[in-house]
Amino acid sequence: MKPVQKLTITEVALRDGSHAINHQYTLEQVISVAKALDDANVPYIEVSHGDGLAGSSLQYGLSRTNEMELIEAAVSVCATSQIGVLLLPGVGTIQQLNEAAKLGVGMARIATHVTEADISAQHIARSKELGLVTVGFLMMSHMAPVETLVEQAKLMESYGADTVYVVDSAGALLPFQVEERIRALKQSLSAHIGFHGHNNLSLAMANTLAAIQEGATWIDGSVRCLGAGAGNTQTEVLVAVLEKLGIETGVDVYKLMDLAEEIVAPILQKPQEITKGSLVLGYAGVYSSFLLHAQRAALKFGLDARDILIELGRRKAVGGQEDMIMNVAAELAKSNYPLSSV
């Protein structure tokens, strides 16, 4: 592996992991996880609804606890770690960003579909005005050619983003595809480059290492793999692998192991593994948070969730179109869609 400068790790279990538990985090759970991550010296901890600020809704899933209360609680127990939030323009607003900043967050990640960076301009600009570390988050990065990804990343950089991420929201990218995307951004941007992976094809770790090899220095992980679909790159495993490679993170791997085993594992409603549903997410290139929605729709209409996800992939559904899932399921049920379509 090429020589690598120190990496910055962002832990996403308290945001992306919200998808896996139907957005049912309690204050006590967030406090215990955030405190342990802070003790392990994880630089950034993302806390919000799985779909970002103001994501709690019938469409995306209702939160058990108001996210601003979760954010405030996480900030209160962290001595060194910075709390970050995710914001999807059109879901969250400047108002929620301002409120989160008042609570003491240190980072805002502004997320758009990979071809829609232009809608992030005011949110990135406001984040910078608030003095936050500001990240552009290009979701579903597998859905655009490399040239388009570069164009969109340049827009986010021009708006003021300190870091721009390649986000494999569906867990659909292969390592060589990650390499070419990160390499192109590295050659075209002055901003830091980040990578966020999902494990739907069992490639989150391989893709993360490929990203690092090509120059990504901001990397996401999720303790115990707690995230949408089959989860994200597993943070405690990632830190252990990086130590074996001689790459500095500053994170205490023993403390992460203890956190994963003793605190996060009991939160999991079921083990994070590659099931037939999460595998189809990566195979079809569908947003990882669609899985539970598709499973509920399948039960309602007597379908195979895989057929729903494959059809969503055919229609190139993207994050924010969760309302399509029930409609697609109803159409498939009405048309006697074959269950052997995978």
Please check the confidence at residue 296 and state whether its pLDDT lies above 80: yes
Phi, psi at residue 112, to the nearest 5°?
Answer: -135, 165
Whether residues 156 and 262 fall in one domain? yes
Q: Which of 19, 23, 49, 123 is catalytic?
A: 19
Asked whether the beta carbons of 278 and 38 are under 8 A apart, the reply is no
Q: State the residue range of the domain holding 127.
A: 8-267
Orientation angle between helical segments 175-188 and 146-159, nearest 10 degrees: 40
| 62 or 206: which leads in pLDDT | 206
pLDDT score for 259: 98
Same domain, 214 and 150: yes
Average pLDDT, the chain: 93
Look at residue 67 in the predicted model and tell me its pLDDT: 95
Q: Give me the pLDDT at residue 341, please.
A: 45
Which of the four pLDDT bands, split at 50, 70 and 90, describes residue 338? low
Q: Report the alpha-carbon distance of residue 102 to residue 83 in Å, rounded.
A: 12
Domain CATH for 55:
3.20.20.70
- How far apart (Å, rounded) are the C-alpha atoms in residues 278 and 285? 10
Asked if 317 and 226 sit in the same domain, the reply is no
Q: What is the mean pLDDT of residues 213-242?
A: 97
- Mean pLDDT in residue range 313-322: 80
Beta bridge partners of 44: 10, 82
| 233 and 120 share one domain | yes
Whether the per-residue pLDDT at 324 is higher than 90: the answer is no
Name the DSSP letter for residue 232. Answer: B
**Residues 81 and 43: beta-carbon distance below 8 Å:** yes
Q: Is the pLDDT of residue 135 over 70?
A: yes
* Digit-coded pLDDT (tens) for 102-128: 999 999 999 999 999 999 999 999 999
- The answer to whether residues 240 and 296 belong to one domain is no
pLDDT value at 277 more than 70: yes
Which residues are annotated as part of the binding site?
15-16, 169, 196, 198, 287
Residues tagged in the binding site annotation for Mn(2+): 16, 196, 198
- Spell 31-58 as b/e; 16+ CB within 10 A means b: ebbbbbbbbbbbbbbbbbbbbbbbbbee
The mean per-residue pLDDT over the stretch 239-267 comes to 96
- Three-state SS string over 67-128 comes to HHHHHHHHHHHCCCCEEEEEECECCECHHHHHHHHHCCCCEEEEEEECCCHHHHHHHHHHHH
The pLDDT of residue 337? 60
The 10 Å Cβ neighbour count of residue 72 is 20
Question: Averaged over 33-47, what is the pLDDT?
Answer: 98
The pLDDT of residue 210: 98
Residues 192 and 45 in one domain: yes
Lowest mean pLDDT among 193-207, 251-265, 292-306: 292-306
Does 342 score more than 50 pLDDT? no
So what's the pLDDT on residue 57? Answer: 83
Per the domain annotation, does 321 fall within a domain? yes
DSSP for 187-218, please give it: HH-SSEEEEE-B-TTS-HHHHHHHHHHTT--E
- Is 19 a catalytic site residue? yes
- If pLDDT is split at 50, 70 and 90, which confidence band does 71 have? very high
Mean pLDDT of 304-310: 91
